[in-house]
Amino acid sequence: MEKRELHYVYGISYLVVIIVALVAFALFDVEHLVDKISFALTITSLVLAILAIIYTYIAGGKQEGQLTTLITTNQAITTASSQIQAAANALLGHVSEIPKGLQNLNDKLDTLSARDLSNVLPGEEVKSSNSSFDLTSEVSSVERDNANVVDMKSEEEILKDFIGKIPFFGMGMLYAFWRAFRNDKEISESWVEENYAGNYLFMLGIFYGARGAGLIDFKVRDGEIIPTACSESMHNSIARHLAKVMEVTNEENSEKLRNYMALADKTFNRQS
């Protein structure tokens, strides 16, 4: 209760006391003044007692309401705190998926040999030593082939470095993009919410990063991610790179990545 309201209560109480005292002196004809005063004080005490009871009841009701509000607020704070903690734990779980030996993973991916690269590069035709050829055109052809190999290696390095810097569920998202692109499918927000614990915005972040690296391109429309392009290295080598990652990481993380890839294979196939 505010001080102003408290003053009002006191003022009304005093007026009631005065009125009761006047009525007591006027209505009761007693012989002695002391008796009149005693009677008036008795009536006043009774009125004050009644007022005290009423005030206590009102104050108790307000305190109960305030206590209820306080309990409700505490419960809301506790619930919000639990939700924040759950979100923090989920984020921590995702972050923990990032390989502790990230640099070691990059080093192991560096061991991709020329033999592996040849799986995605066109092989050179072996020319007969007895055949005649134009030296100038042959040199130009070799230079073009070397330039193509350099470009492909550059794309391979970009893809490999990008994969090495994202968590395993991010690798699964990138693989899902590739599968959706191959089969002309869209990635819906509801599918991401259901299968990636509500990480739609994180998936967008992964895709924007990959687009910035020149690996993919896409559009976002009505809650759907529409793949529109994949780089040559992304198109030809993403599955092989992820297979290499599963070889060099531990069994738990390898199983997670394998499950993410299987989910993408099941969802973004030509029959779905």
Name the residue with higher pLDDT: 2 or 226: 226
pLDDT, tens digit (0-9, with 9 covering 90-100), for 227-240? 999 998 888 888 88
Q: Is residue 221 part of a domain?
A: yes
Q: Is 106 in the same domain as 57? A: no
154's tokens: 């550059």
Q: Kindly state whether residue 55 falls inside one of the protein's structural domains.
A: yes
Residue 183: φ, ψ to 5°: -110, 15
In a domain, 242, yes or no: yes
Q: Are residues 150 and 88 in the same domain?
A: no
Whole-model pTM over 0.75: no
- In a 10 Å sphere around its CB, with 0-12 CB exposed, 13-18 middle and 19+ buried, how is residue 46 labelled? exposed
106 and 74 in a common domain: no
Same domain, 106 and 48: no
Q: With contact defined as beta carbons under 8 Å apart, do 160 and 112 qualify?
A: yes
Shared domain check, 256 and 149: yes
User: Of the segments 92-106, 129-143, 214-228, which one has the largest average pLDDT value?
Assistant: 214-228
List the domain range (segments joined by +) for residue 76: 3-93
Domain count, the chain: 2
Separation of alpha carbons 56 and 200, rounded Å:
56
Q: Is 187 helix (H, G, I), strand (E, B) or coil?
A: strand
What distance in Å separates the CA atoms of residue 160 and residue 238, rounded to the nearest whole number? 9
39 with 159, same domain?
no
Q: What is the pLDDT of residues 117-168, one digit of tens each?
A: 444 434 333 333 343 334 444 444 444 554 444 454 577 888 888 988 888 8
